[in-house]
Structures are given as structure tokens and as C-alpha cells.
Structure 1
Amino acid sequence: MEQMQHLNRVAFELGPITVYWYGIIIGTGLLLGWLLATKESQKLGLNKDIFSDLLLWAIPISIISARIYYVLFKWEYYAENPGEIVAIWEGGIAIHGALIGGAVTAVVFAKKKGISFWKLADIAAPSIILGQAIGRWGNFMNQEAYGTEVARSFLEGLNLPEFIINQMYINGAYHHPTFLYESIWNLSGFVLLIFLRKFQPKQGELFLSYVIWYSIGRFFIEGLRTDSLMLTDTLRIAQMMSLFLIVTATFLIGFRRWKGYAKFRYAESIHN
């Protein structure tokens, strides 16, 4: 039997406190995203604390909504085990749930501040996808969000470093590093959004481009995963949601232009 040297998911311990790499990596993604959005918002004339104030609400609400989303689609299990609904430390959050919660929070926040939601969303889009690219490495450390079985020779053919190949040896078999596929896809999306920003698209279209880009990648990568939330025996919820978001975001780009709602460009008015 092969013996693999896996990476320790515990970063360090301080007495009774255990700090996991997952938390450090997610926190790093949030920090970099916040710094990026804050710098860009100041450049465009927004208050320097606008994203700090938004994140105070968006982070906890997104975590709660991500958990609710996951529990709802696993309700048969949680109905039998209601005590585990709050056991978020055991895993079980969904990025689509987090994005829904974050978007709703941003809409309400923008309305109260008298700022265009689309303006905030455009500024945040590169930060969100960069945070997602970094965050997938937390899944890597936890050996989760991996794909179906593959041969070691397949992974070697991708010219992956040994530490990734070894970490993809789970339950006696090698698996697709879907965390890596999505991380690379999201990092490419980050570069694309920064590039598109230079052309001053209509307000809202940078964010909607993020939604489309992320959803296309997620649709195909989700098909390789082994831990998908399922709507039926053959329909994966994340794939259905990705298709819905692609169609909706594409429609909104065309509809907002047709109705004249997209009257400002990226760097123009901060108000609706």
C-alpha cells in the first residue's frame, strides 16, 4: 500500500487554540480583497472606509447564508440531525449561498448609503474572484472539494509539484485537483477583470462579467467533483445555479443597456 506524506492542516497551536491553514488562507484572501477594493474605491472618490463598513455586515451574513443554502439542499439529513445545523466547523458551506447573502447585503448597504450598488459591485468584483482563487487552497489543505479518481501518471502529466500530487492521494486513490482547476480559472478571471476595467465598461458590467466568467468555470469543474450538492440523482445544484447565473447576467447586460439604465461608465458617478 502506498504511504503518502500529506500536509498538516494545522498551522500551529497556542495552548488550547488550534489555528488551521484553512482559516489563514481564507483570511488572507479576504485581506487582499479588502485592500484591493479599498484602494480602488479611494481612487474613484468613495470614502476609504466604505468596504470596511460593508464587510462588517457582509462577512457574517454571507457565512450564515452559505450555511443555510447548504443545509436546505441537505435537509433530509439535517431534519434527522437538527443539532448539527449549527456545526459549521465540521464543514458544509456553499459559495453560491455566500454570494447571494453578500449581494443582498450590498444592495441594502448601498441603498442606505445613497451609493450605486453597481458601483460597489464593480469595484468588489476583482477582489471577490481573487479571494475565491486564494480560498480554494484552503480546500487543498483540508483535502476537500476534489474530483473523481485519476491515475498518478495523469497528475504527473500535468507537471504538478510533488506536494500537490501527494495531497491528492485521498482514501487510497489519486483524484482530480479540482481546487487547482478552479483556482487557476479564478486567477485568470481576476486578470481579465483588471484588463476589462481599463476600457471603462458600463456600470455593473464588470461585476456581471465576473458572474459569467466564474459560472462558466464552475459549471465544468463541478462536473468533476465528488461532493456536489444534488438536486436529483443526475442534476448538480451548482451546475444549475451556474447556468441560471450565466443567463441572468447576460440578460441584465443587454436589458440595462436597452432600457438606458447603464448610463454611467465604471469611473463615473458613485450614485444611482
Structure 2
Amino acid sequence: MTNQTFLPSPTVSAFHLGPLTIHFYALCIIAGIGVAIWLGSRRWIARGGRPGQVMDVCLWAVPGGIIGGRLYHVITDPELYFLPGRNPWNAFAIWDGGLGIWGAIALGCVGAWIGCRRAGVSLIAFLDAVAPGVIFAQALGRWGNWFNNELYGDPTTLPWKLQIHQMDQGAGTAATDASGHAIILGYYQPTFLYESLWCLVVGLALLALDRRYKLGAGAVFACYAAGYTAGRFVFELMRSDYANLIFGLRVNTWVAGLICLAAATAFMLLRTRPRSTAFLPTAGPTGAPKTQHSRTDTGV
């Protein structure tokens, strides 16, 4: 047999605890949310916020993000669920994969706006505080695609090619042949890994830029959006999994390109503005003057 190097993929995407089926995709998403809340809380306190406020806002933002991400996926790929022979109830099966980041950010921001209004704090300051944690969460979340054997590019012979199995997501295992061996579909570009590493680089760059230059209100979030979508545009061009097309390009390629241009423009306009602080200019969360809650900005 000819020796060849490749990146293996799991043949198991879930495990069972009694009647419960635990999907690794969900665990990766949960781990990412935990990292985003932890780092966002540290940065929030550095901007004058109180401990626990990020968690309070995330109780609105996280469900909104999950709902928005799934809605975007189902709306842009309805044929996966609503054509004859398809099961419409699978539209709710988030554990099988399929969360569109654009919908997640959009409705996540709506949830954050609601949470910030209830807490009497600045939405812009909140978004700037959590942006680096959010992209680290995306880096972790991409490993859920690895467990599901999805999000890959064209076939390749590169040493770091990704082995992809035919998965039965309902069973949480790879399909097997007559001999009981996992069925291998082929070897492909590991675009899930490229995107995960890119998210890690962008997150570290955000922390470094914000620490050094004290970016203006809204600039950190704009930089996050521009940085992530620049990479996503390239990775979408590499992917070979199913997607709807517009003028020969994947829908997400168009979305990533347009958001990147808009976010880059916003960053250039916002980067020299005064830095955002946690509480609204007129009052803190209980109506007290904002100065009662101000803290030294450490640039975390």
C-alpha cells in the first residue's frame, strides 16, 4: 500500500448518555460561547462595566444568534428541507450542522440591543468588548464541522488533505460498507481548518490593535467584521460542498464580499472616534451618573 499523509476526520459525531444524544458540533458551539462570554466579560469590565452584565446581555444575544443562524441557513438552502422527499422537521435539527454566521450576527445583535437596553448600557461598547471573543468562538465552532465531516474544499493531494467519510448524522457515526469499514468519500482541502486558523489570527490581531491604538467606538466590531469576511470570501471560493449560486458564485461569497467592503469603510470612519465606555452618557444601569462606574481602561 502506498503511504500517504492526510488529516483524519472522526467517524463518530455524537455519543449517548442514557436517552440523550450529545453531538460534538453542539459541544464546540457551547465551548465557543463560553470563551466569548469569558473574554467579553474581561474586556467589558475594563471599559467600566460590572461583572455579570455580559452574561445578562448574552441571555438575549445567544438565543437570537442561534435562531438567526439557523434561519439564514434554512432560507438560503430551502431545498434541503422542503422539496419532495425531504423532511421539513430537519430544519430544526441544528445538531446536524447548518448555522449561517450572517444570520447569527444579525439576530445576535438584535438580542444584544434588547439586553443592553434592559441593562442601561451601551450597545456599541458591548459589541466592541465581545468582538474578539466572538471570533475565537467561531474558531472553536468550526471544529464541529470537522466532527460532522463537512465544510471542505476541492479534492487535493496535498500532504494536509482532509479525509472525509460518508456520515449518518442521525446515528452520529460514519456509514459503513459490507465489511464494516467506514466509507471514505475522498480527500479534500480542509477549509474548516483554514477558517478556524484565520479566525484565531483575526482575534489576536483585534486584541493587539485595540490594546495599542485604543480604537474608537464601534471600530473594534467593524474591524472584526472586515477581517473575518475577508478570509471568508477566500474560503468560500475554495469550498466544493453544496451551495446555491448567484451569477456563478456561492451566495455566501457575495455576502462576505459586500460585508467586508462595508465593514472596512466603517472601520476607517470610526477608528479615530473617542473610545466607547460601558454605560450610556446620561446614566448607569440604575439611573446613577456614569462617572460612578468608570474604571481604568486596561485595553484587554
Q: What TM-score does the superposition give when structure 2 sets the normalisation length?
A: 0.76
Q: Which amino acid is the alignment partner of residue 119 of structure 1?
A: A
Pairwise CA distance, 1:10: 4.2
Residue 240 of structure 1, aligned match among 236, 240, 254? 254
SS at match of 1:85: helix
Matching residue of 1:93: 99
Task: Output the aligned Cα RMSD.
Answer: 2.6
The separation in 2 between residues aligned to 1:206 and 1:34, in whole angstroms, is: 16
Task: Kindly report which structure 2 residues correspond to 1:246-265, keeping only aligned pairs within 5 A, or say none.
Answer: 246-256=260-270, 263-265=273-275
Pairwise CA distance, 1:105: 1.8
Pairwise CA distance, 1:72: 1.3
Task: Kindly report which structure 2 residues correspond to 1:36-47, keeping only aligned pairs within 5 A, or say none.
Answer: 36-47=39-50
The reply on whether 1:28 has 2:47 as its aligned counterpart is no
Pairwise CA distance, 1:209: 0.3
The separation in 1 between residues aligned to 2:208 and 2:56, in whole angstroms, is: 27
Q: Which amino acid is the alignment partner of residue 62 of structure 1?
A: G
The separation in 2 between residues aligned to 1:247 and 1:213, in whole angstroms, is: 10
The reply on whether 1:201 has 2:215 as its aligned counterpart is yes
SS at match of 1:203: coil
Pairwise CA distance, 1:7: 2.2
The separation in 1 between residues aligned to 2:97 and 2:140, in whole angstroms, is: 18
Residue 108 of structure 2, aligned match among 92, 102, 106? 102
More helix by share: 1
Q: Deviations over 1:216-257 (max 9, x none)?
A: 000000111123532436121111111111122123234557
Matching residue of 2:203: 190
Contact 1:168 1:177 in 2 (8 A): no
Matching residue of 1:63: 66
The separation in 1 between residues aligned to 2:135 and 2:27, in whole angstroms, is: 17
Q: Deviations over 1:156-175 (max 9, x none)?
A: 1xxx4xxxx56446643200
The separation in 2 between residues aligned to 1:13 and 1:67, in whole angstroms, is: 24
Contact 1:147 1:225 in 2 (8 A): yes
Pairwise CA distance, 1:33: 1.5
Task: Kindly report which structure 2 residues correspond to 1:1-272, keeping only aligned pairs within 5 A, or say none.
Answer: 6-10=9-13, 12-80=15-83, 81=86, 82-151=88-157, 154=158, 156=159, 160=160, 165=161, 167-168=163-164, 171-198=184-211, 199-227=213-241, 229-232=243-246, 234-256=248-270, 263-266=273-276, 268=277, 270-271=279-280
Q: Deviations over 1:139-189 (max 9, x none)?
A: 1111111111111xx1x1xxx4xxxx5644664320000011001111000
How many residue pairs match? The answer is 257
Provide runs of 4+ in structure 1 moved above 4 Å.
168-171, 254-257
The separation in 2 between residues aligned to 1:145 and 1:26, in whole angstroms, is: 15
Q: Which has the higher contact order (CA 8 A, sep 6+)?
A: 2
Alpha carbons of 1:230 and 1:136: their partners in 2 closer, same or farther (altered >3 Å)?
Answer: same
SS at match of 1:189: helix
Contact 1:228 1:236 in 2 (8 A): no
Q: Which has the larger radius of gyration?
A: 2
Deviates more, 1:100-109 or 1:176-185: 100-109
Q: Which amino acid is the alignment partner of residue 70 of structure 1?
A: H
The separation in 1 between residues aligned to 2:208 and 2:252, in whole angstroms, is: 27
Pairwise CA distance, 1:116: 1.9
The separation in 2 between residues aligned to 1:123 and 1:195, in whole angstroms, is: 13
Q: Which runs of 5+ in 2 are unaligned?
A: 167-183, 282-300
Pairwise CA distance, 1:22: 1.9
Pairwise CA distance, 1:107: 2.6
